[in-house]
Amino acid sequence: MKKIAIIGAGYVGLVTGACFAQKGNRVTIVDNNQDKIDQLLKGAIPFYEPHLDIIVQDALAKKTITFVSTIQEALSQQPEFVFSCVGTPSLPNGAADLSFVEIVAAEIGMHMEQYTIIVNKSTVPVGTAAKVETIIAAKLTERNVKIAFDVASNPEFLKEGDAVNDFLMPDRVVIGVRSEESAEALYELYKPFLTSDKQFLVMTQPSAELTKYASNAMLATRISFMNQLAHLADKLGADIHQVKHGMAQDRRIGAHFLNAGIGYGGSCFPKDVAALVHMGMEQHYPMTLVKEVENINHVQRVWFSHQITNHYGPALATKTAGIWGLAFKPETDDIRSAPAIDVIKKLLEQGANVIVYDPVATENIKKIFGDLITYADQGQQVLQNADFLVLLTEWAEFTTTIPSHFLQLKDRVVFDGRNCFAPEDMKALGVSYYCIGRNSVTDDVPLNHYHVAATQHDSSAWQ
């Protein structure tokens, strides 16, 4: 049983804390958002993440978890490990904003009482562990105290929607350290989650920090690769869905992250790809491949929205667009950098009415669009009230819809950003079906039009 403090009760911090508590550790979770802490003390989870509520409520009942609102209070419990899990959003130039990480490091330095291993779980650029060490050391000097500490880099690889399982049964645990003692201590802490010691990967801090960006950039690359290939497939009369299956049977390639669609969004890929590009620029070594991955992703969103505006022309202003799916992916309520935000903005700009439905993300999208759009309680309500449908998140309740239900749409038009249905079924029903790379799309505006614009960072091209 170890004493652990977790700073930041977001998707990463809360899952981390809850899973450590489930293994019998004593966990104190800090968040400076008092509303979050008040909810958590009552056993309510401030965001949607399957299975997390049960673990948190169980830990509360067993008193293995507590929630507090200041780092000082958490450190007064004298934890052996302090996990920093605060956000690292993008700055306008693409660099990761480290202000939260730095504030947390300073507070740790101000309030640490004995030897502590400070573990950085946030996704941070190479060099951040060293920066955190410097900040803490400076605060200790200011206090005129000598307390030993170690900083470890421990990037998190969980995926929202399946975060609890990912944490409890990780593919790997990456640890970047400067001392063997801290590696040993972290190994003991993580041991209950490992099925093999080979999953515990010890390396230098810079390698651990870069591993996280490399992993996300690789996944984003697969998506952009398939999206670019999908357009070529359309032109050549191939079907990207069939091509994917042909590729995925190769064990060296596998099936993951090979779906063509509207492109990636979410709280991680866009900002992490941008941060990797920025790291390259700082080192005067342009990450040209990763930059192109980013460009292709921008292009894909613009192109998708233009399918709608091209189909309707000025008549779009007289139409009601129905949106299925607001979250950036299924099984989460996270709408950070979600395609739905851009698509809805575009539709409103063109004067369309918009009615939306998502099983869990509606409250979050309301914070952006307020009463500018209509919120449905069920997917069916959207079909009954819209002229056409735009499918943006592949929730199971959407992908398992019987296609004949789309006949309720006044115009019988579906724009599918996730390639969920068979074009031939839709054609047989008399539904105009726009999808990606499956020979169903009229590509009125040449793709390279968007491409040049996005490459030149003409943001108006993709807003």
Ligand X SMILES: NC(=O)c1ccc[n+]([C@@H]2O[C@H](COP(=O)([O-])OP(=O)(O)OC[C@H]3O[C@@H](n4cnc5c(N)ncnc54)[C@H](O)[C@@H]3O)[C@@H](O)[C@H]2O)c1
Binding interface with ligand X (CB under 6 A): 7-13, 30-33, 36, 71, 85-88, 100, 103-104, 122-123, 156, 158, 160, 267-268
Q: How far is the CB of 124 from ligand X (least distance, A)?
A: 7
Q: How far is the CB of 88 from ligand X (least distance, A)?
A: 4
Q: Say what the alpha-carbon torsion angle 48, 53, 59, 62 is, to the nearest 10 degrees.
A: 160
Residue 5 or 352 with smaller CB distance to ligand X: 5
As a whole number of angstroms, the distance between CA 417 and CA 410 comes to 20
Residue 11 or 450 with smaller CB distance to ligand X: 11
* DSSP per position, 252-263: TT-STT---SS-
Nearest to 360 by CA among 382, 340, 333, 395: 333
* DSSP per position, 102-124: HHHHHHHHHH--S-EEEEE-S--
Q: How far is the CB of 71 from ligand X (least distance, A)?
A: 6
* SS3 per-residue string spanning 166-232: HHHCCCCEEEECCCHHHHHHHHHHHHHHCCCHHHEEEECHHHHHHHHHHHHHHHHHHHHHHHHHHHH
Q: How far is the CB of 20 from ligand X (least distance, A)?
A: 15
Instruction: Specify whether 19 is catalytic.
Output: no
Report the 10 Å Cβ neighbour count for 390.
29
Residue 103 or 348 with smaller CB distance to ligand X: 103
Strand 26-30 with 65-68, pairing = parallel
Contacts of 33 (CB under 8 A, 6+ apart): 9
Q: How far is the CB of 55 from ligand X (least distance, A)?
A: 16
The H or E element that residue 427 is part of is: helix 423-429
Evaluate whether 217 touches 293 at the Cβ level (below 8 Å). yes
Alpha helices in 350-422 (DSSP H): 362-369, 379-385, 396-399
Counted residue by residue, the chain has a size of 463
Task: For residue 126, give the 3-state DSSP assignment.
Answer: coil
Q: How far is the CB of 268 from ligand X (least distance, A)?
A: 5
Residue 60 or 376 with smaller CB distance to ligand X: 60
Residue 160 or 387 with smaller CB distance to ligand X: 160
Q: Which of 19, 85, 268, 420 is catalytic?
A: 268
Residue 87 or 437 with smaller CB distance to ligand X: 87
Residue nearest to ligand X (CB): 10
Q: Which residues are identified as catalytic?
A: 268
